[in-house]
Structure 1
Amino acid sequence: MEINSFSQLITVFQERTSPEKGYLVGYGAILKAYNLQAPLPDILALISQKHKQYKTEEWIVFTPRHMPEDTLMGHLTFALKYEGIELGLLKKLFEKLDAEEISKVISNEPTGQYSRKIWFLYEWLMGFQLEIPDLIAGNYINLVDEDIQYACRDRLETSKRHRIRNNLPGVKDFCPMIRKTALLEQYISLDLSQQIKRIIGKIHPDVMARTSAFLLLKDSKASYAIEGERPPQNRAQRWGRAIGQAGQTPISKDELIRLQQIVIDNPRFTKMGFRDHEGFIGEHDRRHGTPIPDHISAKWQDLDALIDGWIAANQKLEKDGSFDAVLAAALIAFGFVFIHPFADGNGRIHRYLIHHVLLRKEYISKGIIFPVSAIILERLDEYRRVLEGFSRPRLNLVEWKPTENNNVEVLNDTIDFYRYFDATKQVEFLYSCVQQTIEQTIPEEVDYLEKYDLMKDYLDNYFEMPDKTVALLVRFLEQGRGQLSERARAKEFEALTDKEVIEIENKYQEIFQ
């Protein structure tokens, strides 16, 4: 197959401006040379004309001495050595190479670690065995370089043929990857799971139970609010009870359908179960009703394979005690919402899955609720950018046409877009939400309840107020920043004297402020 030269001097590549003029190498060079229809990697590699090595948000810049041999093998080796494994891009490349061509590349150095990785990945991704004899000697090596990307460590599958340990954090039908960043390493080093367990150990069980009950309802309401809905109290409580049961039942197709039935209270206008039609998120043109997608869901014909792979990956990550729970929760929860297997309810189930994985991985104790949806609601713009980080690069690669009922019909093969993606941005966002929950939200709620109990004891002892009246009084004091309004004094609390009101206001300020 004829291709252009790999390493080309650039300042802009696919609308991404490089930090300086340099040579595009590694995955970027391969993508350009073969015109691969794959999303651009989040990080591209550039060889500088200067002797300076550094990183930016979208580039890693190397010195001239790092310049690879300007061949397919040279750039593949460079990519695996410095950029990690990009499964989606590799799959598109392998589809363009014939078996004889890739066999020749590997056979030049069949025992080399990068040749063996390419060999394994080709056969794993393509489901096709090359005419290369099995290796009969040599050390086993890990497929994923843990200096670059996060990987599994427990119960690894080994390939005697390639003498490789498969430590990918997923399976063939679903395997997102996560880059090892300074930010994620910082989050993991905080050991937030132990922090929350220490905090909870110091809290009275009654206060903790009330905190969890409040956060449960708060999270349920927030999850609907993110979707632009305001459900009645009983519906929010029903979904809250479902969140409270997260982690108890293993995820399966039937369990996902059960969760959807809880989310969709009235299925009159929603086709329940897995989609049997295409789907998208976005708007319709006001005049003609033509779809204007922000995200195109996986093709409905691909859902069986994708969901089976997603469930298998979830089981693999759950059993791997070494794989960080927040990383696993992000892969599973965001992977689900990107596939978007239902006509409705995907977003709320996606956020439920965060609770589920954290509990199954024993990151948090049973009965403790992480109000992830409430945190996301506070940071909605950031959350949407994280979702768009997946959707936008794929929109230009999905070929579609509008249908008669103003839906979309996907025309090309898109399954690998949902199987393989870089989830680093999604993981960093979720970890920041978990940190905020542990360091701020839960302690603040516990602190409030402890202060509320002090205020309640005071009002019980001196005024013998019923619980309902105490709650109303405290709410009015909160709204008045420690002072009772004239209307409340004249109406709900007309039985209190002016002196008693002043005493109550002073006590409130002493406790709460």
Structure 2
Amino acid sequence: MREWPTQSVRDFHGRPLPERGEPAGYAAIMARYDLILPPPIRMAAIAERHHPTSTEAWLMLTPRYRPQPELGSHLVFAFRYEGVDLQVLSALFQIIETDEIEAIIRATPTGAFARRLWFLYEWLTDRQLDIPDPGKVRMVTILDPEQQYALAEGDPSPRHKVSNNLPGTPAFCPLVRRTPDLAAFSQKALGERAREAMGRVRPDLLARAAAFILLNDSKSSFAIEGERPSGQRAARWGQAIAQAGVRPLSLDELDRLQRIVIGDARFVRLGLRDEGGFIGVHDRDTNMPIPDHISARHEDLESLVGGLIAFSDRAARGAMDPVVAAACLAFGFVYIHPYVDGNGRLHRWLIHHALAAASYSPPGLVFPVSAVILRNIDRYRAVLESWSAPLLPFIEWRPTVSGNVEVLNDTAAFYRYFDATAHATFLYACVEQTVEHDLPQEVRFLQAFDTFSEGIQQLIDMPTAQAELLHKFLGQNDGRLSQRARTKEFAALDDAEVERIEALYADAFERDRA
């Protein structure tokens, strides 16, 4: 075991500091106890000068904030300036002597820090410490809501005199830092704005918009996976999306959804994996796996999926920010990758489930997040890789004879306690696009089409299917009916009628684009 880091460095675990600094808090604890895990997304250091510059990757503080070279002092620093990092704490608690933690708590037994540390140790390890009752003290929350997203309504722990506002359980509990970007998104009340806007739309129009959006989101979810499903298969998955939030989340429900996604299960094993899993390719000559992401061990799947289900219920009941909860749930699922196939579409279904369960999306309407993700596919992949890529070097594995991977070390905590801040930020941006662009655009299109169709009916008695085909041809040719269409499908129209129809199209759809 090393000594406490007390020298200024320019690089820590391969991550450059913005200026020379001494690692502090979780970074110092990782160095002191040789913790083998991906470093936190944002770490802290003590700068050499009194006006340091912080970045997204480093919180740089002045020398007067320097902790003493001891565990208790660095933990106090970490809780105060970095929040709770369950991954670091879990790894630390596995190797540290119980009496060392007890000594830290006994030094200030009634203090907020000591009670939070006491609770977290017992919560993460399921081992009780020999600590006396702190007496009559003010209840404190485990997470500081100003630092990290938490339950609005936590559970009291009389033993520790704390309110447990963690959004999950020890089996699964990603956390999200309250960054300026996320705080700004939260204040926009996007769900409320969408419900108000859609509430002003005629019910029949809203129903048509909902049907189109549902099918489009289903097709987009398949397209993200590089698939082009049949119309029947896309419609069937659209119906499953429409049911999101109706049934409680359970393993049986996830298995049911996987069967719908796969359709033909003759060549795919259904249910939880019974072997390793990875995302990547194989070497053409040797069939050696070349992973971009390694999934959770199959031995850990029941625990992880059970924790994910508990997280879903707890976050909804505790009134956690619905978009943040949806990001933790959905991206946690796709990192765990519990199934052989269908994980990506189920991952995006979980977004709909979390938003619907919290009554965040308008009644009877889904936010078309898959369509937005498809438009922003490069950023989506970058967000996925923001955790999976740094994680890969910490997973020990060997290839199997079937070209799969076998994980050799304990990796469960990597999937239980990841930092989902980037994922929540991305998802909030997607939701904002649906509220400000996709939903109103679809409503405006339907209003414009109705205006166009009604104008045609006043001019000519034409079936709706023909009016839709006419609209399609006009849209493909900048509002003009092509010579081919005029001599084939619409040869019955005379020049004056065509001219009037083109004017109707321009009036309806140019106004829509304005």
Fold agreement, TM-score > 0.5: yes
Deviations along 1:118-177, one digit per CA (max 9) or x if unpaired, are 2221111111112222322322211111121111132x2222232211111111111111
Aligned to 1:38: 37
SS in 1 for 2:280: strand
Aligned to 1:216: 214
Aligned to 1:183: 181
Deviations along 1:291-331, one digit per CA (max 9) or x if unpaired, are 1111111111111111111111111111123x211111111
* Identical residues among aligned pairs (%): 47
> Which amino acid in 1 is paired with 2:209?
T
* Mapped partners of 1:153, 1:446: distance in 2: 34
Q: TM-score, normalised on structure 1?
A: 0.97
> Which amino acid in 2 is paired with 1:485?
S
> Which amino acid in 2 is paired with 1:311?
I
SS in 1 for 2:29: helix
How far does residue 105 in structure 1 lie from its aligned partner after superposition?
2.5
Deviations along 1:232-286, one digit per CA (max 9) or x if unpaired, are 1111011111111111111111111100010001111100011111111111111
Aligned to 1:467: 464
* Alignment check: 8 A CA contact 1:261 1:272 kept: yes
Q: 1:453 aligns with which of 450, 453, 456?
A: 450
How far does residue 208 in structure 1 lie from its aligned partner after superposition?
0.7
* Mapped partners of 1:426, 1:314: distance in 2: 16
Gaps of 5+ in 2: none
* Mapped partners of 1:332, 1:282: distance in 2: 23
Please list, as runs of the form range in 1=range in 2, the aligned pairs for 1:227-242 lying within 5 A after superposition: 227-242=225-240
* Mapped partners of 1:128, 1:459: distance in 2: 75
> Which amino acid in 2 is paired with 1:415?
A
Aligned to 2:155: 157
* Mapped partners of 1:388, 1:317: distance in 2: 25
Q: TM-score, normalised on structure 2?
A: 0.97
* Alignment check: 8 A CA contact 2:142 2:166 kept: yes
How far does residue 371 in structure 1 lie from its aligned partner after superposition?
0.9
Q: 1:396 aligns with which of 385, 393, 398?
A: 393
SS in 2 for 1:158: strand
* Mapped partners of 2:151, 2:193: distance in 1: 24
Aligned to 2:133: 134
* Alignment check: 8 A CA contact 2:5 2:22 kept: no
Q: CA RMSD in A?
A: 1.2
> Which amino acid in 2 is paired with 1:134?
D
> Which amino acid in 2 is paired with 1:274?
L
* Alignment check: 8 A CA contact 2:149 2:321 kept: no
Aligned to 2:408: 411
> Which amino acid in 1 is paired with 2:456?
L
* Alignment check: 8 A CA contact 2:18 2:54 kept: no
Is 2:365 aligned against 1:368?
Answer: yes
* Mapped partners of 2:395, 2:374: distance in 1: 30
Aligned to 2:145: 146
* Alignment check: 8 A CA contact 1:106 1:115 kept: yes
* Mapped partners of 2:152, 2:53: distance in 1: 30
* Alignment check: 8 A CA contact 2:18 2:53 kept: no
* Alignment check: 8 A CA contact 1:134 1:160 kept: no
How far does residue 29 in structure 1 lie from its aligned partner after superposition?
1.2
Aligned to 1:284: 282
* Mapped partners of 1:503, 1:132: distance in 2: 85
Is 2:68 aligned against 1:69?
Answer: yes
* Mapped partners of 2:148, 2:111: distance in 1: 20
* Alignment check: 8 A CA contact 1:39 1:89 kept: no
* Mapped partners of 2:504, 2:158: distance in 1: 73
Please list, as runs of the form range in 1=range in 2, the aligned pairs for 1:47-196 lying within 5 A after superposition: 47-154=46-153, 156-196=154-194
* Mapped partners of 1:21, 1:479: distance in 2: 59
| Runs of 4+ in structure 1 over 6 Å off | none
How far does residue 53 in structure 1 lie from its aligned partner after superposition?
4.9
Is 2:484 aligned against 1:487?
Answer: yes
Please list, as runs of the form range in 1=range in 2, the aligned pairs for 1:223-302 lying within 5 A after superposition: 223-302=221-300
> Which amino acid in 2 is paired with 1:217?
L
SS in 1 for 2:394: coil
* Mapped partners of 1:442, 1:162: distance in 2: 47
SS in 2 for 1:55: coil
> Which amino acid in 2 is paired with 1:148?
Q
Please list, as runs of the form range in 1=range in 2, the aligned pairs for 1:372-387 lying within 5 A after superposition: 372-387=369-384
* Alignment check: 8 A CA contact 2:140 2:161 kept: yes
* Mapped partners of 1:55, 1:246: distance in 2: 41
> Which amino acid in 2 is paired with 1:440?
H
How far does residue 54 in structure 1 lie from its aligned partner after superposition?
4.5
SS in 1 for 2:184: helix
Aligned to 1:17: 16
* Mapped partners of 1:298, 1:478: distance in 2: 48
* Alignment check: 8 A CA contact 1:6 1:71 kept: no
How far does residue 407 in structure 1 lie from its aligned partner after superposition?
0.2
Gaps of 5+ in 1: none
SS in 2 for 1:409: strand
* Alignment check: 8 A CA contact 1:135 1:160 kept: no
* Alignment check: 8 A CA contact 2:2 2:31 kept: no
* Alignment check: 8 A CA contact 2:2 2:34 kept: no
Q: 2:441 aligns with which of 425, 444, 453?
A: 444
Q: 1:331 aligns with which of 328, 333, 357?
A: 328
Is 2:347 aligned against 1:350?
Answer: yes
How far does residue 48 in structure 1 lie from its aligned partner after superposition?
1.6
Matched pairs, number: 510
> Which amino acid in 1 is paired with 2:363?
K
> Which amino acid in 1 is paired with 2:394?
L
* Alignment check: 8 A CA contact 1:172 1:309 kept: yes
SS in 1 for 2:266: helix
How far does residue 498 in structure 1 lie from its aligned partner after superposition?
2.1
Q: 1:319 aligns with which of 309, 317, 320?
A: 317
